[in-house]
Chain A
Amino acid sequence: MTIVAGCDVGSLTTKAVLLKDNRLISTSLIRSKAKPQESARIAMEELFAKADLSEKEMEYCVGTGYGREKLAFVNAVKSEIACHGKGAKWLLPSVKTIIDIGGQDCKVIKIDESGTATRFVTNDKCASGTGRFLEVMAQVLGIDISELGQQSSRSKSPVTLASTCTVWAQADVIKQINSGVPIEDIGAGINLAMAKRIATLANSIKPENDICMTGGVAKNQGVMSLLEQLMGCRIRKIRKSDPQLAGAIGAALFAQEKLLSA
């Protein structure tokens, strides 16, 4: 019996998972704090509480995400790209291309049969095309980020927004609200701006089927549908678990591999 953990400390959320003999037995997902160590501690405490296990029972833990280098309790660290590749393969075995949209970046990763990343592209500097972009826009619209995805199906005429800069896009949204444009049209415009940026990035790496999305934005049906339209291909939905956990799952799988090979 092996019990391993993966902890993914991202810029917006921290995720942790426990795997027991390759089965997911506990997960936690919290809003990241200012200090990565604190985020990880809270997420891990929640993780063990849910599984009714103590930390001592964990045999190996791999850390990933932006805060990974700061985690004292992990046995090893792995890059996010490697973890998302591994995690996505476990969640959807047929996957070859992963679009991962995190809080502060967007990555398109190609993987091989073993889930090892072979190529990747990332956005460069701007927050457009990242989870942070959607979060800021939802705040301006006064809706919860989880409601943003539904706006696309309700809209009859999505607005066109600036998509090279989050601050400018925010100014555009405020202008549209003040002009009386319906919320759903603005929301749909936001999803479209986001999808266009991701599609451009994804197409640059020549994605291969099956394609899936990981990260928090994978839960935004509006962006996902628009992305399918823009890329002209189907994006497979991850159903086995929360797609936002892919990085943490990948980290746990690395931990499991390490234990089994020892």
Chain B
Amino acid sequence: MTHRCFQQERKTMRVLAVSLLLCVSAVFVACGSGSVVSPSTGLSGNWVLTLQRHAHPVPVVYTGFLLQSGSSVAGSVILGGGCDGVGPVVGTLDGANLSLTINEFGQDVSLTGTLPTGSPSGSTFIGGAFSSVAGGCADFVSTGTWSAVRVTPLSGTFHGTLVGVSNSTTDTFNVTGTLTQGANTASSNAMLSGSITATGAPHFCAYLSTATITGLISGTGVTLNLFDSTGNQITQIAPASVATTGTSLTCAQGATSCFTFPAISNACTGEQGTIQLSFP
């Protein structure tokens, strides 16, 4: 009789334990987020998003930075579609399924896509479909496809040339230097800082010897400000464009020049020209 009671008690305890375990599991499932959070930060970086509208030949381009934390994506982009300015981006990555919303303030643009296997890494190319209803930026619906490429951080040593093209003879400055891209803060751009030094034989017109650099990058668009040792601005390099691989910096496409040295004497009346910098 005692043995039977003991067995009955053990059976009850077992049922109780299983019930408790099931209950705890159920509470976790019901009260949890309902999604598997990946530790991945793979979508973080500087992106160029190109939207190709259905039946419209001119693409719309957005540039800026995304930060991924688990399955959540946030960032900001310089807007390209009817509403000038900067708009926040929010999104989710559920497995390989990416969903982003660009808030243009005038309206939202919804992007969906499926990441290819193994992505994103490096200068990743991703894409999908987009749509928006009529709103404050465009009074018509918009649909189409989108693609995006990540721009490798513009950091490291560089060498190259600044070529003056404003005079009858070209004046080439050989330069070396370093650039460091600031942290990704999910902003539409990131800070650049560094230094640049003219190398080789001194130029009669010493527009550039050594300068510190501050600048900004958003997508492939780059602006560099060069300052001398006293803090005076020597020139601004803009509009410039970096390769998505982060290995070269040139004047932006279509720009015949992207820097101007001001006059420094009666004999040296200034110079404007093009750049070609290689990293490293």
The answer to whether A binds B is: no
Measuring CB to CB, which residues of chain B are less than 8 angstroms from any residue of chain A?
A: none
Measuring CB to CB, which residues of chain A are less than 8 angstroms from any residue of chain B?
A: none
